């Protein structure tokens, strides 16, 4: 898989293969989950896209039989590869959820399962990687120059996380995306522009904040003294404000110049600045957007999202061309695979001829509430003593953001205690 990029890897002692496939299956990316034995030999591979199994291969079979084989003993490690889109796909083997049920039943009671004949599969128009190539690790993405040291030039980029509607999870997306980017080695600064649902409250650290962004608007030279560090060296946070509401937080005039100066200073201190915007596309959000180089939209997987998508584009289009950020894409959040309404909204969003969508979709999960309770990113919300698989999706989203902005770096893992210093 020399043309692929690794987005995650782990031990099957910690995560079941079913959990891995269900989480990866949420993505619309063309993805391969490669299984290996303890000594690094290839055990098999599953190809997935948009909730469907595109193909499967084991040491002794291909197709649906191979998919069932992969749930037997022998595999120890999983490696998830993001693949380039082929010119054509073979006929899918079937929906992932259905095939998982069949495979799990086969693994627990193989004598009761009727073998499934493999349907005819049309060959991909692009050549399939050889077995020798598939076991070779792909080259790591390029590391950001200057990503781990303060830059003296204004070389960083500023990305506004925005949505026309409140309650869609902008703050959750901002924090967890920032964490995954920092894990890749990208020096990341989260700037909180939302005094209503701030990042520090999500991290259970609100009472430790004395000053924030709104306190130093107009005084960007004070930025270094206000930034809060975290236990991840490449990640820091500029809170929204201190315990008292600053006058500028309720100002009824444009603060685009003040935000422009503050974010320009922030870009000198980080390779990537992520700004968590208030709900709506005007007022403060418009000022922030006019001060950023890029934007990411967040839409909830519900029927009102189709209208929100149009308002997102209108809000960005209303910004003067010389200050208008480039829209990197839209993240669909809070997807519920078992809800017909959510599925209908998801299909409406993904089929609309509108803003470019990220391939990674984030589902609803109780892991986010547990993370908030613990005051940590979702990676550290323990479920049965393990990191919730949904947290891996932010690594996949980080890969997409790096691809679209030119940033990048290999992911690493760190153990943490209290997250905010």
| CATH number, residue 332 | 3.40.50.300
Residue 421 falls inside a structural domain: no
Are 233 and 336 members of one domain?
Answer: yes
**Confidence (pTM):** 0.72
Are 180 and 241 members of one domain?
Answer: yes
Pairwise CA distance, residues 230 & 225, whole Å: 14
E-strand ranges in 280-396 read: 294-300, 326-335, 357-363
Are 165 and 116 members of one domain?
Answer: no
pLDDT of residue 113: 43
Task: Specify the 3-state DSSP secondary structure of 64.
Answer: helix
Q: Under a CB-based contact definition with an 8 Å cutoff, are residues 277 and 168 in contact?
A: no
Residue 420 falls inside a structural domain: no
Q: Which residues of the chain have pLDDT under 70?
A: 1-4, 107-155, 304-307, 337-339, 343, 345, 347-355, 382-386, 408-421
pLDDT of residue 136: 37
Pairwise CA distance, residues 197 & 277, whole Å: 10
pLDDT of residue 398: 92
Closest CA to 55 of 8, 88, 78, 23: 88
Domains held by the chain: number:
2
Residue 119 falls inside a structural domain: yes
pLDDT of residue 407: 83
Pairwise CA distance, residues 362 & 412, whole Å: 21
pLDDT digits (tens, 9 = 90+) for 147-169: 333 333 446 999 999 999 888 99
Residue 151 falls inside a structural domain: no
Residue 140 falls inside a structural domain: no
Residue 17 falls inside a structural domain: yes
Are 112 and 184 members of one domain?
Answer: no
Are 130 and 201 members of one domain?
Answer: no
pLDDT of residue 109: 57
Are 196 and 317 members of one domain?
Answer: yes
pLDDT of residue 246: 78
Are 230 and 114 members of one domain?
Answer: no
Are 290 and 385 members of one domain?
Answer: yes
Q: Under a CB-based contact definition with an 8 Å cutoff, are residues 230 and 419 in contact?
A: yes
Rg of the chain in Å (alpha carbons):
22
Are 99 and 242 members of one domain?
Answer: no
- The domain of 328 spans 157-405
Closest CA to 361 of 330, 327, 383: 330
**Range list of H helices, 64-208:** 64-69, 96-108, 131-135, 170-183, 199-202
């Amino acid at each position: 898989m020399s043309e692929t990029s690794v987005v995650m890897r782990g031990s099957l002692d910690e995560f079941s293969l079913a959990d891995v496939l269900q989480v990866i299956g949420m993505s619309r990316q063309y993805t391969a989950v490669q299984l290996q034995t303890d000594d690094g030999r290839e055990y098999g591979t599953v190809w997935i896209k948009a909730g469907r199994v595109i193909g499967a291969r084991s040491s002794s079979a291909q197709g649906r039989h191979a998919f069932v084989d992969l749930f037997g003993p022998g595999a120890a490690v999983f490696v998830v590869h993001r693949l380039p889109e082929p010119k054509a796909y073979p006929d899918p083997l079937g929906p992932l959820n259905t095939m998982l049920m069949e495979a799990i039943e086969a693994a627990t009671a193989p004598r009761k399962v009727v073998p499934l004949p493999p349907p005819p599969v049309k060959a991909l128009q692009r050549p399939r990687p050889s077995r020798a190539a598939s076991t070779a690790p792909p080259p790591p993405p390029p590391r950001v120059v200057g990503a781990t040291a303060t830059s003296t030039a204004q070389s960083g980029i500023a990305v506004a996380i925005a949505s026309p509607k409140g309650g869609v999870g902008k703050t959750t997306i901002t924090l967890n995306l920032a964490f995954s980017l920092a894990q890749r080695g990208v020096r990341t600064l989260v700037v909180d522009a939302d005094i209503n649902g701030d990042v520090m409250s999500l991290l259970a650290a609100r009472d430790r904040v004395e000053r924030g962004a709104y306190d130093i608007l107009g005084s960007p030279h004070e930025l270094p003294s206000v930034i809060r560090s975290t236990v991840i060296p490449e990640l820091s946070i500029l809170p929204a404000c201190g315990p008292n509401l600053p006058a500028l937080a309720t100002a009824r005039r444009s603060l685009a110049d003040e935000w422009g100066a503050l974010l320009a200073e922030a870009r000198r201190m980080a390779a990537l600045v992520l700004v968590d915007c208030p709900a709506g596309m005007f007022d403060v959000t418009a000022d922030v957007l006019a001060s950023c180089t890029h934007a990411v939209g967040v839409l909830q997987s519900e029927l009102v999202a189709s209208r929100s998508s149009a308002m997102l584009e209108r809000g960005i289009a209303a910004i003067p061309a010389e200050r208008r950020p480039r829209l990197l894409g839209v993240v669909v959040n809070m997807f519920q695979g078992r809800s017909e309404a959510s599925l209908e909204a998801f299909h409406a969003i993904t089929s609309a001829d509108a803003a470019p969508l990220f391939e990674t979709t984030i589902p609803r999960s109780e892991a986010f509430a547990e993370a908030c309770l613990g005051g940590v990113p979702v990676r550290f919300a323990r479920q049965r003593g393990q990191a919730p698989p949904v947290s891996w999706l932010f690594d996949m989203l980080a890969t997409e953001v790096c691809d679209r902005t030119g940033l990048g770096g290999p992911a690493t893992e760190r153990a943490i205690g209290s997250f905010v210093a």
